[in-house]
Structures are given as structure tokens and as C-alpha cells.
Chains A and B, each alone.
Chain A
Amino acid sequence: MRRFLLPLALFLVLVGFLAVGLRLDPREVPSPLVGKPAPAFQAVALARPEATIKRDDLLGKVWMLNVWASWCAACREEHPLLVEYARRGGVPIYGLNYKDKREDGLGWLRRFGNPYTESLFDPDGRIGLDYGVYGVPETFVIDRTGVIRYKHIGPITPEVLRDKIEPLLRQLNA
């Protein structure tokens, strides 16, 4: 009998590893940008084509950069969470409207709510390139001295916001 239990035993060991593996993220590649100064940019505001925003304008406060686009389905998933967060009055969120058309982006914000203090308009994705964006949405936390402290790829979930981003923001604002 014992000999015939061997396949089951091997299988259970495998399951153990798979269960641990589920908690790990193979894509959680430590971003080379974390701990480095946020790349400089000079961008037109999405809602105010006459205004430009520079990275250095934002020094001195903790802020989040959220990369979004009207064509991005996953952005809609995280969007209510951002709107809710902004309503509660956390740190300012700046949007990076990535490879989008201005009217599409503005229409999207009118429809789903605007959690952003301001959205940077990046139609050709040049700023996104500097920030190493390879999937939308992505979210960066940037501290008072302009250093990137955290990067999240993919939609933010309530868990990520509660367990990772908010504790970090509290610590940075302390």
C-alpha cells in the first residue's frame, strides 16, 4: 500500500509549492526606478492646453502618479477606488493620460469622475517611456524630494491601497 501512496505524496508536495507560488508574483520585478529621482517632464495639462506642468513644480509634497487612458479597460476597474480615495482627501494624485486623444480622455473623466488634481497629457507616450510604463494602469508614489518610492503595475486593488500604499504615504508624510 505504501508504495502506491507515493504518487499522492509527490502530488501533495507539488501542491504545497503551487500554493506558496500563488502568493508570489513572478512579474514583481523590482523596478529599477524605485529609489531613484522621478524622471523630469514638462507636460501640457489635459484640461488646460495652455498650462504646463513640470516635475519640479511638484517638489515639496508627496504625490502619486497614476498612468491611465480612456482605451484602458483595467483603468475602469481601479478608477472608483481612486475617486473614492481623492474624495477622502489623501495626497494629490496626478494622472498621466497615456497615448490617448484629448477629447476621449476628458470625456472619460466626465463620465467616471475625476480623482486627479491634474492630468498630464502624453499623447505620444514620451513621458510614459521615461517612466518605464509597459502596461496601463501603473501607479507611482513619489516623495517630497522627487524620489520614486513605490511602483505598482496593473490596477490598484483595495488591498494594495490599504496594505502597501497608505502605510507608505503615512510614513512619508510623517
Chain B
Amino acid sequence: MIPEIGQFLLLLALGVSLVQGVLPLAGAQRGRADWMALARPASYAQFILVALAFVCLTASFVRHDFSVLYVASNSNSALPLAYRIAAVWGGHEGSLLLWVLMLAAWTAAVARFSRSLPIVFVARILAVLGLVAVGFYLFMLVTSNPFDRLIPAAADGRDLNPLLQDPGMVIHPPMLYMGYVGFSVAYAFAIAALIGGNLDATWARWTRPWTSAAWIFLTFGIGLGSWWAYNELGWGGWWFWDPVENASFMPWLVGTALIHSLAVTEKRGGFKVWTVLLAIMAFSLSLLGTFLVRSGVLSSVHAFATDPRRGLFILVFLVIVIGASLLLYAWRAPSVGLGQRFALFSKESMLLVNNMLLVVACGAVLLGTLYPLFLDALGMGKISVGPPYFDTVFALMMAPLLLLMGVGPLMRWKQDDAGSLARRLRWAVVVAIVAALAAGWAMGRISPATTGGLFLGCWIVAAIGVDLVERLKPRAGLGGSVFGRARLLPRAMVGMMVAHLGVAVFAIGVSMVKTYETERDVKMGPDSSTEIAGYVFRLLSLKDVQGPNYNAVQGRIEVSHNGRVIAMLSPEKRIYRVQNNPMTESDVDSNLFRDLYVSMGEQLPNGDWIVRVQHKPFIAWIWGGCLVMMLGGALAASDRRYRLRQTRSADLPAGAGAAR
């Protein structure tokens, strides 16, 4: 009965989203206040309906209802409760349900926190979000219904993919989807503004916190995915340039560009057309990512069960949503005026270059991801594009970006003077060079590529330092203590500094890991030992372990450094009973400056094991950097001027924000 209720709720939600997508939009065109007023209640109703449907599917999992095909394919009676709940989004159908749930949640949030926006604008935004939801409900109900029955019921389920049975996996997809779907808000704002013809500083100001919020979730989702792959795949890699990873990374790159471009639109009234295009692109890439993952056009370790009908459906949906948006863009954009003029050497130029680099980097990732498909489609053979291409191209794009990240924030809007800027930053250059060389020396080997990466990281930190010192210097009309002045810094400004600091931390982490990591595959039996980077790994014992739904061999490995025992690691090789899949559970001893990573490979005929031991200096900085970036995003999004009643700024004519 519960699955039927869930199915019925989904149908109801489809109906409500149709109303939400059509009537308020028509009302906004015709000036019908009653039709526009439907937008908010419809958004809330849709959210409640889909949330209840989600509860229904979760209940089927919790109750082991193997007469539901999706439950039978993704769960098992021995699966622990936490993973049964996570299994709701462990497959294609359920993750789509999660997608629409997130979309409905964002929509409801927009409905709730848009009191200060004109109703015409709100009606259009919610209608656009409603139309996107219609597409996803149809997709689910037509091709991928999570509530389909399996008659007769299976005796037991097929179990959740063992790769997904990990705490990181429980929250990785929801965070990633929050990010993906979050860009639909910026997209809906852009489309509504294109329809209404009110692309101005106020529109940019409304869009900014929503974009930052989506970006924070996406950053978290990607970082978590990387951390999960590192811990769970057992190779010790943290980024593989897999098509599905790329699919999440492309919206992130464009979203980052969008955040920066919105700043120009809000402060200077410039880049309006470009900002709109970025907002459309960010969400389009999220949709494209969904297509790539679901349609099976690319092979990937993440691939869901594929079905050509699904691929075709999403492709048609993509054409309608993105095609219509770009057509609207081509129609309305020419009438949008240009912003204020700026000199070649100005903050605007810097942000323009930033945007170019980010978008070109995204283009390079897109090209690399789809290149195998292009060649295959043209009948030119099957190839795959691997990390060497991505690493090289990406480093080429990111190096100038990081270099400018030090300069850009210190520059003035409109026009700046190169000479004085060079004077302000000369110490930062010296500090960065010395720090980069010193770090290389401390690690025992100075290589050009690492020194470059370290220099860029230190350079950003030093430039932020210069910026901070200048802003905290006593000035006329700004007395008090340093702390008093620090408290007066706008939160958005602090957020930017923190986010850039996060990038620096990330860059330093990557440079360190890439150059100084060491690994060794050794044959180990009980009481044998091996050494890397001064750490001695000693296998004490091997024992059989029974998990709830797997059997495992667990190694006990003692790690010592300079004769002192510093860690005890217990990597496992698991066989999940239902799917008969071997899984490598690595064990890691982690601190701020290095990870010691141990995973078990194959067992040899004589009972010994191949064990992979790795020493990864500074790898925690990679994810630490992501966390710092997120913190920066959160600070920026919570700046108080976004929370102020915006009636005052709404009265200003377009572009007036530029005067400030």
C-alpha cells in the first residue's frame, strides 16, 4: 500500500508543479494578481507532497518491502538501517526522487525568503522552477518509477552496491544534488529577469546569496566525493577525472565564474549579459551532468543502470530547457545596455580574465570528457582521455588564475595604476618565493613544478595579508583598535579573503602531494615489515572478521616512527555476501601534515598478502582547502546587506548601485 501512496503523491506533485509552472507565469504577463499569488502556496504544497513521497520510499526500504523492484535491487535483509536509508538514493530511480525533493526544497526556500521581492518577479521565478520540476516528475513517472512493483516479490534483495556502503556516501549525493539543484535558483532568477527585462544591480544582489549557497553545497559535495573515493576505492587517489566527477566539476567552475561576475554586475552594473549567460550555463551543465550520468553515453565507474529510453528523455528535456533559455537569451540580451566603462588595468578587467580562465577551463574539461564520444560518433574509433590531458591543461589554466587571485582583490574598480600596485605587493612576492623554496628545502627536494605550485599558494596568502593590513590601517574617520576596525570589515569582503585562502591551502596541498607522496606495494605475511618515508609498517596479525553483510580478512598493522609506535591500522579485504564483490577497506592515520594509508590487495597462494602502504604529505590540506572555501562562501552569503529589507535598493534605478 505504501508504494501506491508514494506513487499517488508523485502524481499529485506533478499536477501541483504544472499549476505552479503555468498560472503564475501567465499571471505575470497579464497582470493577474490572483494567478501570481498561487506561486507561493503551490511551491509549499509541491514540497510537502514530494517529501511525503520520499518518506514512502524510505519506509519501503526500512520495512524490507522486496515487492518494490527498486528496494529489491538496492537493499537486502542484512543491510544495516543507516545504509537502508542511504540506499534510497543508492540507485537511479531513488536518486531522481532525491533530486526533485531538493528542487522542491530550494523552491520552497525561495518562496519563503523572497518577501521583499516584487510579486511579479517572484511569480516568474517560482514558475520557472515549477516547469523544471514538471520535467523531472515526468521523467521519473515515465521512465524511472521508484515505486514499481515486483510481482511476485523477491525472497531477498540484491543488496546495495558495496562501494556505496560508507558513511561518506550517505551524505555525498545529497550535498552534490543540493549544489546542482541550487543553481536552478540562479537560473530561475536569470530567466525571470530576462522575461521581465529587469537585469540590473538589484537582480544581481538578490541572486548572489542564492548562488553562493548552491556553490557551498557543490563544493562540499565534490570535496566529500573526493574524500570518499580516497578512502573507499583503496588506491589512495583523490581525483580521477572520471566523466561523472567532471560532470560535477563543470558546474562548479562556471558557478565560481558566476559568483565573480555577479560581483561586477552588482557593484558596477557591468557584465550583465555575461552574468545571465553564466547563470544559464551553470544550471545547464548541472542538467548535462545528469544526462551524462544517466544515459550511459560515456563509460564511467559511477554509471547507473542505463536505458536508452531514459537517455532520450533527458536529451529532449535538455533541448527544451536549455534551448528555450538560450533562445530567450538571444532574443532579450541585445536590448540590455552595457555597464560602465572601465580601463584595461582595473578590477573589472581582472574579473573578466578570471571569468575567461574559469570558463575556458570548464570548456577544456567538457572537451576532454566528451572527446571519446565525439570520435565515436564520427566513426573515428574508440579512445579514452586520461588524467595526463586534464592535469596538463588544467594546470595551464589555473596557474594564471591563481597568480591573478593575489592581484585582483587589491585592485580598484574602474582604473588602477600598475606602478603603485607593484609597490604595494612587492613584499608579498618576496615572502612567497622564500616560503616556497623553504618548504621545498624542508621536504628535502626542490622541484620546479612544486616550487611553482607552492609559490602560487603562498603568494595568495601573502597578498591577502597585504590586503588585510591595508584595510586595518588607521585611517581618517576610522579610529579605534585594530579589532574594532576588523569588526567593521564587511562580511562579504572577509568571506572573499577566506575563500581565496581556501584556494591557497588547496593549491599547497596538491603541490605537496603530487611531488612528495611515496607508495610501495609489498608482500607481507604475519610479522613482516616494510618502511617508507621513515615510517615502519609491521603486520602483526591477520584475522577473519564477520560484518553484518560481509566477511572480511583484517590485517593489524603497527606503524612506528623513530622507534616509537604512533598508530595501529586495521585495513580489511571484504567480500560482500550477496553480490560476491570484493571490497578494499583502507585504513588511514591522518594528521595535518601527512596521511599514512594502508590497503590490502590480493592474497597470494602461500597465504601472504600484497599490501599497499602510502605516505601522503599534506593531503588533508586538499579537503581542508575545500572546507575553508566553503566557510568563505558562507561568510559572503550571510553578509547583512542581503538580509536587509531591500525596498530601499529596489527603488533605485538600474545601475545606480554602481555609484557606490
A interface, CB within 8 angstroms of B: 1, 4-5, 7-8, 11-12, 14-15, 17-27, 71-73, 99, 111
Given A7-B329, A8-B330, A73-B158: A18 in contact with B315 (beta carbons within 8 A): yes
Contact A17 B580 (CB under 8 A): no
Contact A4 B580 (CB under 8 A): no
Given A22-B308, A71-B158, A73-B72: A1 in contact with B315 (beta carbons within 8 A): no
Contact B158 A25 (CB under 8 A): no
Chain B residue nearest to A99 in the complex (CB): B580
B610 within 8 A of A: no
Contact A73 B308 (CB under 8 A): no
Partner of B327 from the list A8, A22, A72 (CB cut-off 8 Å) is A8
**Which of B17-25, B112-120, B318-326, B631-639 is the interface stretch?**
B318-326
Contacts of A20 in B (CB 8 A): 377
Q: What's the nearest-Cβ distance from chain A to residue B318, in Å?
A: 7
Contacts of A23 in B (CB 8 A): 308
Given A18-B297, A21-B297, A71-B158: A5 in contact with B373 (beta carbons within 8 A): no
Q: How far is the CA of A14 from the CA of B288 in the complex (A)?
A: 10
Q: What's the nearest-Cβ distance from chain A to residue B337, in Å?
A: 14
Partner of A24 from the list B312, B315, B377 (CB cut-off 8 Å) is B377
Contact A11 B297 (CB under 8 A): no
Contact A26 B158 (CB under 8 A): no
Q: How far is the CA of A122 from the CA of B135 in the complex (A)?
A: 46
Contact A26 B376 (CB under 8 A): yes
Q: How far is the CA of A99 from the CA of B581 in the complex (A)?
A: 12
Q: What's the nearest-Cβ distance from chain B to residue A66, in Å?
A: 19
Contacts of B377 in A (CB 8 A): 17, 20-21, 24
Chain B residue nearest to A19 in the complex (CB): B315
Contact A17 B370 (CB under 8 A): yes
Contacts of A19 in B (CB 8 A): 315
Chain B residue nearest to A12 in the complex (CB): B323
Contact B318 A15 (CB under 8 A): yes
Given A21-B377, A22-B315: A5 in contact with B330 (beta carbons within 8 A): yes
Contact B73 A22 (CB under 8 A): no
Contact A71 B315 (CB under 8 A): no
B333 within 8 A of A: yes
Sample 23 A-B pairs with CB under 8 A, ordered by A number: A4-B273, A4-B330, A4-B334, A11-B323, A15-B319, A17-B377, A18-B295, A18-B318, A18-B373, A20-B377, A21-B297, A21-B298, A21-B377, A22-B295, A22-B308, A22-B311, A24-B373, A24-B376, A26-B299, A26-B372, A71-B578, A72-B158, A73-B69
Partner of B291 from the list A8, A18, A72 (CB cut-off 8 Å) is A18
Q: How far is the CA of A55 from the CA of B649 in the complex (A)?
A: 82
Contacts of B326 in A (CB 8 A): 7-8, 11
B interface, CB within 8 angstroms of A: 69, 72-73, 152, 154, 158, 273, 277, 280-281, 284, 291, 295-299, 308, 311-312, 315, 318-319, 322-323, 326-327, 329-330, 333-334, 370, 372-374, 376-377, 382, 578-580
Contact B330 A21 (CB under 8 A): no
Chain B residue nearest to A111 in the complex (CB): B152
Chain A residue nearest to B305 in the complex (CB): A74
Q: How far is the CA of A24 from the CA of B297 in the complex (A)?
A: 7
Contact A17 B318 (CB under 8 A): no
Contact A17 B323 (CB under 8 A): no
Chain B residue nearest to A125 in the complex (CB): B580
Contacts of B297 in A (CB 8 A): 18, 21-22, 24, 26
The 10 closest A-B pairs by CB, nearest first: A8-B326, A20-B377, A21-B297, A26-B299, A4-B330, A21-B373, A5-B330, A22-B311, A4-B333, A73-B73
Contacts of B334 in A (CB 8 A): 1, 4
Chain B residue nearest to A1 in the complex (CB): B334
Q: How far is the CA of A112 from the CA of B335 in the complex (A)?
A: 65
Contacts of A12 in B (CB 8 A): 323
Contacts of A111 in B (CB 8 A): 152
Q: How far is the CA of A22 from the CA of B330 in the complex (A)?
A: 28
Contacts of A7 in B (CB 8 A): 277, 280-281, 326, 329-330
Q: What's the nearest-Cβ distance from chain B to residue A39, in Å?
A: 21
Q: How far is the CA of A4 from the CA of B578 in the complex (A)?
A: 55
Contact A26 B277 (CB under 8 A): no
Partner of B296 from the list A11, A17, A26, A72 (CB cut-off 8 Å) is A26
Contacts of B376 in A (CB 8 A): 21, 24, 26
Q: How far is the CA of A168 from the CA of B580 in the complex (A)?
A: 34
Contact A4 B329 (CB under 8 A): yes
Contacts of B281 in A (CB 8 A): 7
Contact B299 A8 (CB under 8 A): no
Q: How far is the CA of A22 from the CA of B308 in the complex (A)?
A: 7
Q: Which of B69, B72, B158, B326 has the most CB of A within 10 A?
A: B326
Contacts of B291 in A (CB 8 A): 18
Contact A15 B315 (CB under 8 A): yes
Q: What's the nearest-Cβ distance from chain B to residue A101, in Å?
A: 12
Q: What's the nearest-Cβ distance from chain A to residue B364, in Å?
A: 15
Contacts of B296 in A (CB 8 A): 25-27
Q: How far is the CA of A99 from the CA of B577 in the complex (A)?
A: 11
Given A17-B374, A22-B308: A27 in contact with B329 (beta carbons within 8 A): no
